[in-house]
């Protein structure tokens, strides 16, 4: 058995989770580090995941009446200054452009032509988009303004990790303007719902919707809502955020409109975004010790056909059969796009199959002369053991391939959901809470903890104390009554009255 028990990824999740994460990205060919500190190269197999996310979300946004637009990468430094909390939130991680030319000096290129006003590379675009909005909006008849942009942003992070936290990342940022607070709040809520749908129905990631505590809020927001997911090391990942910005940014950018009654009023704005971080979440939700596991609805490709030749004379008939099968499969639609079919005719024996296991393709199909003779294919699924393969009639396979993909999609979600539920606990005793979040070996912490649903009095002091002592934060105040609990209780930290339970966890 020895050899067959070896897993494709080393170390395993259990042995060294963060190293495992890096190895999965490498083995699945999703991305790689770049020569630029903290910046990644997203390779085709990873970028297609992003393209699929973009396709799905873009359709959802458009159904909500949101239009795409594009705003500058560079933002005048003074713009950031307009909103007090906003500056404070981002000032420490801004890339600043100070020159516009290079000159040769002693054979080396040196910056020259200093800018009169430095520009920052957008860490987010509220201020520059707000400037446009202030000119676009005159009357209540112009509202709402519903805009989204697909862009890159730069946040100069101290510690980076591919997909999860890189200095540059890709995202979408939605920005809207409304005549009333209720309308803005409702829109921000609907966008959060879209993110939940994307996560649940496409990425197969179960998420908890909720709102952030004051200390975790977006700088300048009145309310930040989020979806939080549990990774396989039981840490929380914020997978998407939606902000109700009140009138803070309207004030900063001077977004005024004339109301029905003829008065000049400050508008209400929102912003909301998800990023390439979702791909990191995808990996840490589903990948196993054999590599990536792609949920079919977001997978770069759905089926790989692996022709098997026993003799040279097999080659042509098998390839013809395989090409023909590929053509039939490609006529099918799945999750709003054409079924993705790869043909891999490399003659490298079983290693070829492992390449695709590591890449996480949902279905592998082996086709040799024997299968052809039977009118069958030999199929393996990524969500079952690599040894667990079976012969299926070719016609039946073609007819049911989308059902099989649906089944893989469903089971991938269920597995992630069961994992989260297994590591989500209601805790009411302070000691129990501390035990839950304390590894038995602090030097080399084992995978431990999870989501603790505990009461919190609402004070920043208790929140900070828990953060300082355990590195545990309030991920969100959940909307789901089953999680928030029925009625008041006692704060896990100070014992004072608490209105509801919140989600405590270590976080990325």
What are the residues binding RNA (CB under 7 A)? 3-4, 6-8, 10, 18-19, 22-23, 26, 33, 37-38, 89, 92-93, 155, 157-162, 164-167, 169, 216, 218-219, 238, 241, 275-277, 308-311, 346, 348-351, 353-354, 366-372, 378, 445, 468, 471, 507-508
Closer residue to RNA, CB minimum distance, 72 or 445: 445
Q: Are 415 and 401 in contact (CB under 8 A)?
A: no
Residue 31: how many other CB atoms lie within 10 Å: 22
Smallest gap from residue 87 Cβ to RNA (A): 13
CB of 368 to RNA, least distance (A): 3
Dihedral sign of CA atoms 77, 80, 84, 88 in order? negative
* Angle formed by the axes of helices 277-286 and 17-27, nearest 10°: 110
Instruction: Rank residues 85 and 418 by Cβ distance to RNA and give the closer one.
Output: 85
Q: Which residues contact 366 (CB under 8 A, 6 or more apart)?
A: 306, 307, 308, 353, 377, 378, 379, 380, 389
Using the minimum distance from each CB to RNA, give the nearer residue, 48 or 216.
216
Backbone φ and ψ for 16, nearest 5 degrees, come out as -160, 95
Helix (H, G, I), strand (E, B) or coil at 438: coil
219 phi, psi to nearest 5 deg: -60, 115
Give the tokens for residue 344. Answer: 């891999």
Least Å distance, CB 471 to RNA, is 5
| For RNA, the closer CB: 11 or 499 | 11
Q: Using the minimum distance from each CB to RNA, give the nearer residue, 33 or 73.
A: 33
Least Å from the CB of residue 79 to RNA: 19
Looking up tokens 């991305």 gives 31
Q: Give the residue with the Cβ less far from RNA, 38 or 189.
A: 38
* CA 131 – CA 255 distance, rounded (Å): 8
**Residue 479 C-beta: closest distance to RNA, Å:** 18
Question: Cβ 502 to RNA, closest distance in Å?
Answer: 17
Widest distance between CA atoms in the chain: 84
Question: Which C-beta is closer to RNA: that of 72 or that of 368?
Answer: 368
Enumerate residues 6+ apart whose C-beta is below 8 A from 496.
457, 459, 490
* Tokens representing residue 74 in the block: 């560079």
CB of 26 or CB of 411, closer to RNA: 26
Residue 3, H or E segment: helix 2-5
- Give alpha helix (H) positions in 178-289: 181-197, 248-253, 277-286
Give dist(CA 136, CA 267) in Å, integer: 12
Q: Which CB, 321 or 334, lies closer to RNA? A: 321
Minimal distance in Å, beta carbon 33 to RNA? 5
Minimum Å gap between C-beta 447 and RNA is 11
85, two tokens: 């909390």
Instruction: Pick the closer one to RNA by CB: 277 or 302.
Output: 277
CB of 59 to RNA, least distance (A): 23
Shortest distance in whole angstroms from residue 104 CB to RNA: 20
Q: Which strands make up the sheet holding 74-76, listed edge to edge? A: 74-76, 108-121, 96-105
Task: Using the Cα atoms of residue 295, residue 299, residue 303 and residue 308 in order, give the sign of their dihedral.
Answer: negative
User: Closer CB to RNA, residue 369 or residue 432?
Assistant: 369
DSSP state of 339: P
* Number of CB atoms found within 10 A of residue 346's CB: 10
Between strands 501-505 and 497-498, the pairing is unpaired
Least distance (Å) from RNA to the CB of residue 137? 27
């Amino acid at each position: 058995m020895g050899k067959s028990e070896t897993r494709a990824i080393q170390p395993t999740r259990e042995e060294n989770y963060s190293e495992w994460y890096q190895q999965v990205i490498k083995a699945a060919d999703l991305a790689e580090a770049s020569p630029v500190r903290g910046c990644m190269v997203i390779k085709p197999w990873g970028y297609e995941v992003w393209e699929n996310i973009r396709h799905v979300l873009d359709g959802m946004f458009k159904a909500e009446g949101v239009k795409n637009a594009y705003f500058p990468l560079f933002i005048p430094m003074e713009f950031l200054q307009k909103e007090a909390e906003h500056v404070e939130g981002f000032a420490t991680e801004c890339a600043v452009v100070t020159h516009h030319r290079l000159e040769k000096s002693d054979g080396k290129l040196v910056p020259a032509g200093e800018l009169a006003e430095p520009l920052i590379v957008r860490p987010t675009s509220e201020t520059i988009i707000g400037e446009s909005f202030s000119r676009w909006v005159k009357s209540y008849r112009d509202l709402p303004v519903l805009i989204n942009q697909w862009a890159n942003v730069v946040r100069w992070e101290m510690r980076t990790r591919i997909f999860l936290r890189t200095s540059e990342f890709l995202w979408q940022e939605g920005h809207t303007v409304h005549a009333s607070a209720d309308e803005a709040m409702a829109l921000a809520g609907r966008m959060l719902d879209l993110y939940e749908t994307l996560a649940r129905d496409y990425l197969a990631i179960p998420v908890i919707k909720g709102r952030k505590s004051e200390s975790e809020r977006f700088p300048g927001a009145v309310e930040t809502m989020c979806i939080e997911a549990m990774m396989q090391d039981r840490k929380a990942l914020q997978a998407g955020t939606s902000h109700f910005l009140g009138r803070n940014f309207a004030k900063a950018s001077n977004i005024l409109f004339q109301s029905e009654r003829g008065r000049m009023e400050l508008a209400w704005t929102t912003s909301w975004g998800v990023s390439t971080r979702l791909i990191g979440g995808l990996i840490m939700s589903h990948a196993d010790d054999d590599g990536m596991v792609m949920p079919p609805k977001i997978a770069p490709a759905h089926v790989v056909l692996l022709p098997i030749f026993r003799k040279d004379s097999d080659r042509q008939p098998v390839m013809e059969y395989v090409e023909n099968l590929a053509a039939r499969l490609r006529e099918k639609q799945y999750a709003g796009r054409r079924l993705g079919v790869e043909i891999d005719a490399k003659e490298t024996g079983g290693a070829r199959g492992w390449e695709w296991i590591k890449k996480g393709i949902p279905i592998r199909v082996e086709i040799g002369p024997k299968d052809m003779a039977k009118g069958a294919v030999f199929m393996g699924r990524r969500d079952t053991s690599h040894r667990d393969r079976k012969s299926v009639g070719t016609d039946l396979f073609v007819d049911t391939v989308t059902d099989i993909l649906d089944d893989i999609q469903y089971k991938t979600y269920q597995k992630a959901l069961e994992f989260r539920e297994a590591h989500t606990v209601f805790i009411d005793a302070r000691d129990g809470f501390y035990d839950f979040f304390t590894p038995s070996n602090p030097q080399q912490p084992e995978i431990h903890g999870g989501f603790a649903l505990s009461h919190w009095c609402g004070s920043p002091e208790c929140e900070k104390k828990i953060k300082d002592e355990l590195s545990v934060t309030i991920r969100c105040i959940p909307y789901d009554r089953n999680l928030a609990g029925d009625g008041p209780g006692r704060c896990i930290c100070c014992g004072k009255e608490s209105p509801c339970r919140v989600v405590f966890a270590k976080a990325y």
